Every structure is written in structure tokens, then in C-alpha cells.
Amino acid sequence: MALETYRLEVQGSETGLDADVYDDEEMIEESTHVSYEDFDAAATEGAAEVSKNEAVTADVTDVDIQVQRDGTAFTFELLGDRETLATIRVDDEE
């Protein structure tokens, strides 16, 4: 195995949040969509403008995205071999 850089990117829309994991070659390794409706949450005025990303370099064989809701925010975790590599939090006010 070799070190590779992964980028977790979260983009907002009127209906929810999209999270994608990109590799060194800008290929999508993992992707998920979270609908506001599924969590009884509503889009705020600037929801479609949400754009956050975080990059990390790791030596892993498997990547995944885990999403959690804590009542006032969504938390997206980039997992590498089941260990947290990066975290992005999107508060309801954003």
C-alpha cells in the first residue's frame, strides 16, 4: 500500500447535502446524498451555497463516508479502514 491523498467535499443544495470523496486523480471514490426531509430538517436561505472540503493523506485500502445528525448540524466523517480520517460539520445556520 502507498500513501494517497483523499479529499472529502460537502456541497449544499435546496434539498440536502452531497458528500464526495476524491482521490489523487480527482476520481470519486465514495459518494452520498443526505436529504433534509429524511432528518426533519429544512434548508436555510444559504443552504445551496454550502461548500466545504478537507484533504488528508493516508495509507488505507477502504474509504467510506459516515453521516450523523446531532439536532443542530450534520457531521460527515471520512473513514479509512474504519478509522476517522477527516470530519466536516455543517450547522443548520449555514
Report the predicted TM-score, pTM, of the whole model to 2 decimal places.
0.90
Mean pLDDT to the nearest integer, 64-68: 97
pLDDT surpassing 70 at residue 1: no
Domain count, the chain: 1
* Residue 27 C-beta-side C-alpha neighbours within 13 Å: 5
Share of the chain above pLDDT 90, in %: 71
Domain span at residue 62?
4-91
Dihedrals phi, psi of 71, to nearest 5 degrees:
100, -35
- pLDDT tens sequence across 26-54: 999 999 999 999 988 877 777 778 899 99
